[in-house]
Structure 1
Amino acid sequence: MTSFDWGSGTVTAVAVGCGTVCGLGLVAIGYGVMRGPVREERSGFGRRLIARLPADWTSRRFVIAVTVGLVVGALTGWPVAAVLTTVAALTLPGLLGPDRAAARSTERMEALAAWTEMLRDTLSAAAGLEQAVLATADIAPAALEPEMRTLAAAVRSGRSLPGALRAFAAEVDDPLADVVVAALVMAAEQQAGQLAPLLGELAESVREQVAMRQRIDAGRASVRTGVRVTVIVTLGMATGMVVFNRPFLDPFNTWTGQAVLAAVGGLFAASFIYLSAIGRIDEPVRLITPTAVTGTGVAPGDQP
């Protein structure tokens, strides 16, 4: 078996480690460009960079990805292979696996529509808005149960209903929830009439958004299936050549071969990032931003 002439094992390990760290930096920069702006309350370059990384990039996942990359780099003697393996271990599970984030978002939208309908029905029974919120908090859908418990506790503790609703919207962190909360806050502050019919229209609108999201998810499922097949075939072919026909890959034992391997891997990475970007759904602009609630949990001007 031909190996790349690095001089010593120490030099090889250092080269693989430096290449892996460099690759991680490039991945972080790439995801920072693709993701939306971070929240304004976060400051510092390090925090902004971490905030732009995917939420499922945990410390454990980083350690596993780097370890796998180092092992592949040591077995092949190719620093570029170590970098590409590390990047693949970080990104491919989220790209090829089930879209859990979209499923959770759809479930929360359905729960929001159900809660809005509960409020409408309770208000139709001549109950006040605060009483309706407290009554529906105990029977809220499971996807909104933690947030509803917090909302009910805030109202029962004596906090004003508008302030508690704004905190609820910040905790739910969903544009559609902002629309519902804005209508409730307006009704609580200005005693707006015809709130029950308005809530019915909002619930119907949320239901339509859920149906549209489900149609989009169904269309994206076929794309994700095609990507899975492409990635599995590509990785299987590469692994088979490394294991069963290593002499065929001897040209990659040179610096020129490493440069070609890096270019090919970069093209695959760019294509996968593009597929992920076009499959992402841009959320509407938030009506109630998290900065509306201060660090003490009380909105400006909100007094119990």
Structure 2
Amino acid sequence: MSSMLGPEAISGIAVACGTVFGLGLVAIGYGAVRRAAREQQAGVWMALAARLPAAWTARRVLIAVVAGVVVGALTAWPVVAVLTCVGMLTLPGLLGPDRAAARRTEKMEALATWTEMLRDTLSAAAGLEQAVLATADIAPTALEPELQGLAATVRSGRPLPGALRVFAEEIEDPLADVVVAALVMAAEQQARQLGPLLGELADSVREQVAMRQRIDAGRASVRTGVRVTVIVTLGMAVGLIVFNRPYLDPFDTLTGQLVLAVVGVLFAASFSYLTVIGRIDEPIRLIRCAPALAATEPVAGGKR
């Protein structure tokens, strides 16, 4: 073949093949870098989405955007369109009933009841594992799914300490961590006098529940006042737009839109401040990453 092509042609082919090979390596490296960049960008978007409130579903966001566009088209005020969208996303959670707090209080009351049930069952000379299985079948309604899962995990052969840690992680409450920590120590170290300790823990949980109920009652009065203020303000604005539109003509200008934006920012800042002062600082949890810890524990009857 060298006699047919000659030295110059062979050199050209070699250079071309080397160039193609180099370009291939560059393309592979570029593709790997772009893929890593896309994965990193997707991870950033996932992290941002995880920080959004759980109530902001795709349907709710779509409804808020559509409502903002409709209001903006009817009033010809772009600032009102933005404020409408933001208001529909944030005001229901701020002004509506705090269902999450109510569910949490109900769970803590159920936890105190279950702790007392454990104490009474242990007083009948039953072991801790048997007491857990017996009380799970008559669990309070608020904790029924978690306790049924705990009983199923224990019956599957997993050691009680690991099952209790998974149970604490499912409840996700510092008060529950205290109770579960006492049970874990009793299961691992065969602690005595567990019954009186459970009674004291149940009393402590009930005191914490009563304190939270008092705090929630105070926050409810604040929510009522803010709700009245928002309803009156929005009612007056809608009434002026419908019945006396010329009165709002100054807002058709750029200066009017800036003033309206400042008013909206002030409302948002005041609502954010009310949310911050009404937030309860939770104590540090005693049990973390329970599923990972439980998964590493040996299962009774399995391989060691």
Q: TM-score range by the shorter chain?
A: 0.7 to 0.9
Where structure 1 has 5 or more consecutive residues not aligned to the other structure, the ranges are 1-42
Counterpart of 2:294 in 1: which secondary structure?
A: coil
Cα distance per residue 1:119-140 (max 9 Å; x no partner): 0000111000000000000011
Which whole-Å CA distance do the structure 2 matches of 1:302 and 1:279 have between them?
A: 44
Q: Is the 8 A contact 1:120 1:199 kept in 2?
A: yes
Equivalent position amino acid for 2:296 in 1 = P
Structure (1 or 2) with the larger CA radius of gyration? 2
Q: 1:150 to 1:112 in 2, by over 3 A?
A: same
Equivalent position amino acid for 1:100 in 2 = R
Which whole-Å CA distance do the structure 2 matches of 1:169 and 1:57 have between them?
A: 27
User: TM-score, normalised to structure 1's length?
Assistant: 0.82
Which residue in 2 is equivalent to 1:64? 63
Q: 1:181 to 1:302 in 2, by over 3 A?
A: farther
State the Cα distance separating 1:302 from its structure 2 match.
4.5
Aligned-residue CA RMSD (Å) = 1.4
Matched, 1:81 2:80: yes
Cα distance per residue 1:83-131 (max 9 Å; x no partner): 0000111111111111111100100010000000000000111000000
Q: 1:178 to 1:302 in 2, by over 3 A?
A: farther
Which residue in 2 is equivalent to 1:104? 103
State the Cα distance separating 1:50 from its structure 2 match.
2.1
Where structure 2 has 5 or more consecutive residues not aligned to the other structure, the ranges are 1-41
Which whole-Å CA distance do the structure 2 matches of 1:83 and 1:184 have between them?
A: 52
State the Cα distance separating 1:276 from its structure 2 match.
1.5
Q: 1:242 to 1:44 in 2, by over 3 A?
A: same
Aligned length: 259
State the Cα distance separating 1:217 from its structure 2 match.
1.2
**TM superposition outliers: structure 1 runs of 4+ over 6 Å:** none
Equivalent position amino acid for 1:300 in 2 = T
Counterpart of 1:256 in 2: which secondary structure?
A: helix
Which residue in 2 is equivalent to 1:292? 290
Counterpart of 1:44 in 2: which secondary structure?
A: helix
Q: How does 1:124-135 map to 2 (within 5 A)?
A: 124-135=123-134
- Percent of aligned pairs sharing the same letter: 78
User: TM-score, normalised to structure 2's length?
Assistant: 0.82
Equivalent position amino acid for 1:283 in 2 = E
Which residue in 2 is equivalent to 1:201? 200
Cα distance per residue 1:33-92 (max 9 Å; x no partner): xxxxxxxxxx93323322222222122111111111110011111111110000111111
